[in-house]
Amino acid sequence: MSKNYLNEDLPERESRQLINEFEKMLLTNSVHFFDQEAYEYMIDYYEAGFDFYKAEVVVDWAVELHPFSSFFIIKKARLQIDAHKNTAALELLSKAQALSPAELEIFVLQAEAYINIQNYMAALDCLRQAMLYANETEKADIFLAVADVYDACEKEEKSYLFIKKALKLAPTHEGALSRINYYIELFSKQTESISIHKTIIDHDPYCDLAWYNLGSAYTGLGLHKKAIEAYEFVTAINDNYDLAYMGIGNAYFALENFAKAKDNYLMALEIGDPDEDLYYMLGQVCKRMANHTEALCYFEKLIDTSTHNAHYYAEIADCLTQLHNWKKAIVALKQALQLEPNFQPYLSKMAFCFEKLGDIDNAIACYNTLIDQCPNEIFYWTNLIVLYFYEQNYQAALDCIANAKQHLGNHVVLCYQQAASLYAAGQKTEALVWFNYALETDEQLSPLFFDMLPHLENNKLFSTLL
């Protein structure tokens, strides 16, 4: 049975009968003639249900039976543009223009087709002609179409200028208010945005989009308390404005009031659709509140609802690490590394997890991979040396120190590690030489030596040297 996508224009029973009759005609290849109003209804019906194939079939029939209806010709041109058949669309729009020379939609669709074939001057010419027939509200729409042209040819400054022009003509224009924030962030125009949106609010204090944009501007300037006030006006006007609750949550997060941030994120989740950014921020706020089990749930939902992202798997691994679930953390990190092969932070975390599991061979393998990628990063060398040391493989530790010094020279940390490794290997005289050298270089780092050999901390010889 066909879905009844809309029935505003006709009673439900009559609309269902009309659709059934048309679809039966398609199945049987029979011919039935409908009046113009019926065709208009069926086109809207199928477009509302995203069934564009049937919408195109209806349009083709309508154009054939009503060849002088600019409405149907325009509809067909719209479908041609959606199918990337821009030349055909322009031909249809020329026919429609001969029938309805002042129809603004024709100029806008012509501009869109010209944009698609990168003829930007022709697109602007069409919109200049449209201005001759437009009233003030319609001119605002045309200014937005002009902004589309400049966007397409990467002249964002002009796009921003025409969106502001649209708002001057129609201060509460939803399309312009929805788009202006992108350019404000792009050009760091938050101070100007505050002025623009305060003027709009003076004109219409109940314009929730203007209050929302004002909150975004305050957020961009780091004025989080003012942002919260602006967003709260949004929710007072429209308590189903989920993005405003998200904005309040972000502001409280920046102020490190994580409990209130979480409350507002949950409110946004309750009234809005599941959102990638929202799940991510819920995971982050739960991490900050040390609720790693709940954070893990949100990051796992994030994986389920979004395209796979290596960073999200790394967040899961962080939560599992905090919960000491080393094996599952390694699984998550392997998934992250499939998406971002050899990414150093993930390999480093994996080495740590292998070490915690006592899987020293795999931990060593991770550090060797890291050293191959970044031989001048001392952190990787020192961690590998410590692994060899605690495995009592002192010769491997000393060999590793020698290799590290080829890249880093006599780095003081390596010298303390060398002294400890030599002492543990029974080469005490040489160990004292390197310990003394390290002390003279940086005495403040001497605890590195005693961390490796804690039983020597009260040794008279080393105490004397200190």
DSSP notation for 76-143: HHHHHHHTT-HHHHHHHHHHHHHH-TT-HHHHHHHHHHHHHTT-HHHHHHHHHHHHTT--HHHHHHHH
- The mean per-residue pLDDT over the stretch 352-368 comes to 96
Residue 355 lies in a domain: no
Number of domains making up the chain:
2
- Beta carbons of 172 and 209 less than 8 angstroms apart: yes
Q: What is the pLDDT of residues 291-345, one digit of tens each?
A: 999 999 999 999 988 777 999 999 999 999 999 999 999 999 999 999 999 899 9
Average pLDDT, the chain: 90
Can you tell me which residue has the tokens 């991979």?
Answer: 369
- The mean per-residue pLDDT over the stretch 221-247 comes to 97
pLDDT at 458 exceeding the cut of 90: no
Residue 193 lies in a domain: no
Query: Residue 302: how many CB atoms within 10 A of its CB?
Result: 24
Q: What is the pLDDT of residues 332-348, one digit of tens each?
A: 999 999 999 989 999 99
- Three-class DSSP category at 398: helix
pLDDT at 5 exceeding the cut of 50: no
Cβ burial of 121 (10 Å; 0-12, 13-18, 19+) is exposed
The CA-based angle 294-299-303, given to 5 degrees, is: 145
Domain that holds residue 449: 388-466
Q: What is the pLDDT of residues 241-290, one digit of tens each?
A: 999 999 999 999 999 999 999 999 999 999 998 889 999 999 999 999 99
Q: How confident is the model at residue 2 (pLDDT cuts 50, 70, 90)?
A: very low
pLDDT: which is higher, 76 or 221: 221
Residue 183 lies in a domain: no
Domain end: 307, 326, 350, which one?
Answer: 307
Q: How confident is the model at residue 32 (pLDDT cuts 50, 70, 90)?
A: low
d(CA 465, CA 436): 7
Domain end: 262, 289, 307, which one?
Answer: 307
Residue 404 lies in a domain: yes
Domain end: 251, 275, 307, which one?
Answer: 307
Residue 142 lies in a domain: no
What is the predicted pLDDT for the residue at 6? 41
Task: Phi first, then psi: give them for residue 44, nearest 5 degrees.
Answer: -60, -40
Q: What is the pTM of this model?
A: 0.81
List the structure tokens of 244: 């405003």
What is the domain-level CATH number for residue 246?
1.25.40.10
d(CA 73, CA 208): 37
